[in-house]
Structure 1
Amino acid sequence: MANIVWHTKLRIHLDLTLDDLGHEEHEGLWDMVYGMDRMYAARAVPVAERDLQCGGVCQEAGVVAPMHLRMRNERREAVHERREDEDRHTVTISDEHKAYQERILRAAEAGGFCGDNEVRTRVGRSWIQTDTLIEGADGLRVGWEVQLSTAGTDGPRSVRARAAKAQKNGITPAWHTDRNDYAHRHDTHWTRSNNLPAHVIAKIGDLRVISGFRKLDFWHCDLHADHPCPHGVRRCGKYHATPVPKDVLFDDLVRNTAAGTIVPVQFRTLNKTHRFWATRADHNRYNDLLNNDHQLPAVTEDVRTPSRASHNHPTCRPDLTTTASVTATPTTLQTPTDRPSGLLVVQPTAPVLETTASQALGESALADQARSANAGPESLETLIELQRAANAARNALQRLSDHEERERQQYVLLEAAQSAQAAITRYATSQGLNRFDVQQTVRGAAHDT
């Protein structure tokens, strides 16, 4: 679809976003052009012969792209005849956008959840396309949308409309950006990180969310309170909740939203509704407070604290030196001289860690040898072996309790999971198959064996 149409007979451009199509001197221009196009359609005249062409991107590219007109939800639309002309209007996905998508999948995989990129979900006669859809616990589906460019606030394709449509069809919308102005918008639940290059976003490190997550502070509105009364009076004697900004690691946010321990919250004030993310415990306490603001809600135990101390170097560290192609060798643990910058330089000490880690890395090495022997796309057996290695690394991580041991084993798990996901992507692409279906088949086979 496009907003600018070229009329070959009248030799003028028609702007469908304007009531007069950009020609106030011609009264009733839309009714005339649209009525003629409907008459052509009734007489089965081909679209290429209806005097209408794309006057925007296609015309600028020197391409003749026939179009026809339609009305949908009282909105004027011009539709391309050919799909390739429609695709010309699609904005190319940036490297930073792709890096966020891969990081979301990797973080979800480390938490035991699955997902896929660019998922189209059928909704009646239309579609919902999600950048990254994560299948969470108990049937929860989290749809991550990475928005690094300008996004509209009004209209059927605005952020508000797309988020509402996803939520209506069982997908929890999660919008992430690196733009500061989105932190002040409340059309959906925004989260924000620093503006970083693609190779830094994709690396293993602490990518911190600096906006969009809140901790709720519950307090009594008396003379000793630190916050002003939200009702505008001196002191009302009731209990209130105040959202306090709090940082959270991006990977933890992905995993906890999939697990349902971090949930979207709509916080209402006298004249505005604020949308942010908070722990389920704070959300439950806030709902209890809305039902009875004369009594302080009981404290409920949270499953996991989403923001924690970490020994990893931060992803946004200014003096961090890294390249887009740095990868770890899966057959041996790296020494301090060849380990990529930003990773904790340690050696395993516990016997159980050495056994499970070497077993997981050994299976990855066998799969790499099988790939090099075939000199072609991975076979299904190779994908199953890689998934077994990732499963073994995950099981080892669950058995550990020491913080440093878990840090080391988490690195092993991320390497094994990344290798398995990359192989699945290559196999699905080479065979022309749906990546999600291939992933489910491989996981089932690896689990059964």
Structure 2
Amino acid sequence: MANIVWHTKLRIHLDLNLEDLGHAEHPGLWDMVYDMDKLYAARGVPVAERDLLCGGVCQEQGVEAPMHLRLRSNGRREAVHERREDEDRHVVPVSDEHKAYQERILRAAQEAGFDGDSEVRTRVGRSWIQTDTLIEGSDGLRIGWEVQLSSAGTDGPRSVRARAAKAQKNGITPAWHTDRTAYADRHDTHWTRSNNLPAYVIAQTGDLRVISGFRRLDFWQCDIHAVHPCPNGVRRCNKAHATPTPKDVLFDDLVRQTAAGTIVPIEFRTPTKLHRFWVTHADRNRYSDLLSDDTHLPPANEEAAPPASKASRNRPTCRQPGPAATAPTPVAAGPQTGFLPTQSAAPSVEAVPSELSVSPSPTPVHAGLPAKLISLQQTADAAHARLRELTDPDERREQRRKWFSAAAAAQTAVTDYARTKRLNRHEVERELRRLVRHL
């Protein structure tokens, strides 16, 4: 569809976004042109003979693309191409960076045992929703990742706000990612942001860091000992408040934990604005308790008590190593050399959230993995394979529950093993999957 139409008989451009089509000197121009197009259609006149051509991209490229007019039930005017190839000419090609993000989202989700696909169309009544990358998470959770690296509108049926609301209304949790600073201040959806990086860096398996959009909630009592100012504008109100604090998070961890439901979207209201960002599930539950009763601090979740903050051992992709970068510590060769390479520590200023931290002390690993890990992973893979064979909805629902349970057991065992052996958890999981595939 296009909104600029060239009328071959009147020799003028018609802008369907404007009430007067851009010609205030001709009142009733839309009614005349639209009624004539309807008359042509009723008489069976081909679209190519209805005096209307695309006046936008097609005309700029020297292509005569016939069009016809359409009036939606909500009053929106549209001009529709006769041929699909003319319509495709208006679609902006996907950049290499956009494709790299889509591939990385799918890879991160699949490594955690979640299914997904790119460019997914979901039927909604008489229309549809197209999602850049749709991840099928735990307990029926669906995360719709939209990578926005170009300009995005704020108003209209194709704006970010409208697309996010439509997805959410139909059971898809919208997750919008960008590399533009201005989007972080819009709050028309739950934005996350990384640095502006080339495609080959995004495609690497190193630490791609999200520097905006994920926050930790600090809960405090508004008394004389409080550090933060009272959000109600008084000296001290003696009530409980929550203050969001920006936190970095790894992009791969964000993909996995949003699918698992441990990182969730939240709408945080201040006296003047509504903010949208991502927090841990425990923080959102505490915030809900605070909204129901702010006379005292909500109880802290013991399971959410973070360990000491530690830096990731993987080289970050959001920073290019300088000439003085420290080389990785070599591992002695031999028959018992570990299959997981050690890496230099990341800069301390890029410490990941404490909930997602890993051990800072790399330790060489002896070859081989425990039989228990291999058995648990094989059980999870078998449950997943069985799910693909079923077609009955009830059987699929029950098998999906079994798969989630088996996958959770395998993931917990991998985490415990990596923590005990002081290893990089991602590398342990990747080696485990490689071993299981070749058995």
TM-score, with length taken from structure 2:
0.78
**CA separation in 2, counterparts of 1:395 and 1:302?**
15
Equivalent residue in structure 1 for 2:419, among 388, 392, 402:
402
Q: Provide, for residues 394-417 of structure 1, a one-character-per-residue CA deviation record: whole Å limited to 9, x for no partner.
A: 79845723366642x633654897
- Of 186-195 and 19-28, deviating more is 19-28
Q: Which runs of 5+ in 2 are unaligned?
A: 324-336, 347-360, 378-406
Equivalent residue in structure 1 for 2:315, among 313, 316, 322:
313
> Does 2:366 correspond to 1:349?
yes
> Does 2:268 correspond to 1:267?
yes
**CA separation in 1, counterparts of 2:140 and 2:56?**
43
Q: Which runs of 5+ in 1 are unaligned?
A: 322-331, 361-389, 420-442
Residue 292 of structure 2 is matched in structure 1 by 291
Contact kept in structure 2, 1:397 and 1:406, CA below 8 Å: no
RMSD between aligned residues: 3.3
Q: Provide, for residues 75-126 of structure 1, a one-character-per-residue CA deviation record: whole Å limited to 9, x for no partner.
A: 1111111111111111100000011111111111111111111111111111
- Return the offset for 1:348: 2.8
Contact kept in structure 1, 2:338 and 2:366, CA below 8 Å: no
Residue 436 of structure 1 is matched in structure 2 by none
Provide the secondary structure at the position in 2 that maps to 1:18.
coil
Equivalences for residues 38-437 of structure 1 within 5 A:
38-72=38-72, 73-302=74-303, 309-319=311-321, 347-349=364-366, 351-352=368-369, 397=414, 400-402=417-419, 406-407=423-424, 410-411=426-427, 413-414=429-430
**CA separation in 2, counterparts of 1:304 and 1:75?**
52
**CA separation in 2, counterparts of 1:403 and 1:100?**
32
Q: 1:91 to 1:301 in 2, by over 3 A?
A: farther
- Return the offset for 1:37: 1.0
- Of 43-52 and 141-150, deviating more is 43-52
Residue 24 of structure 1 is matched in structure 2 by 24
Provide the secondary structure at the position in 1 that maps to 2:418.
coil
- Return the offset for 1:336: 7.8
**CA separation in 1, counterparts of 2:371 and 2:417?**
12
Contact kept in structure 2, 1:7 and 1:51, CA below 8 Å: yes
Query: What is the aligned-residue identity percentage?
Result: 71
Residue 430 of structure 1 is matched in structure 2 by none
Q: For 2:427, give the aligned amino acid.
A: Y
**CA separation in 2, counterparts of 1:71 and 1:222?**
60
**CA separation in 1, counterparts of 2:116 and 2:432?**
17
Contact kept in structure 1, 2:414 and 2:428, CA below 8 Å: no
Q: For 1:290, give the aligned amino acid.
A: L
Contact kept in structure 2, 1:353 and 1:405, CA below 8 Å: no
Q: Provide, for residues 113-149 of structure 1, a one-character-per-residue CA deviation record: whole Å limited to 9, x for no partner.
A: 1111111111111110000000000000000000000
Q: Provide, for residues 295-338 of structure 1, a one-character-per-residue CA deviation record: whole Å limited to 9, x for no partner.
A: 110111446969863110111122379xxxxxxxxxx988989x
- Return the offset for 1:346: 7.3
**CA separation in 1, counterparts of 2:432 and 2:118?**
19
Q: 1:320 to 1:252 in 2, by over 3 A?
A: farther
Residue 355 of structure 2 is matched in structure 1 by none
Q: For 2:369, give the aligned amino acid.
A: V
Q: 1:318 to 1:70 in 2, by over 3 A?
A: same
**CA separation in 2, counterparts of 1:304 and 1:36?**
69
Contact kept in structure 1, 2:340 and 2:365, CA below 8 Å: no
**CA separation in 2, counterparts of 1:6 and 1:320?**
55
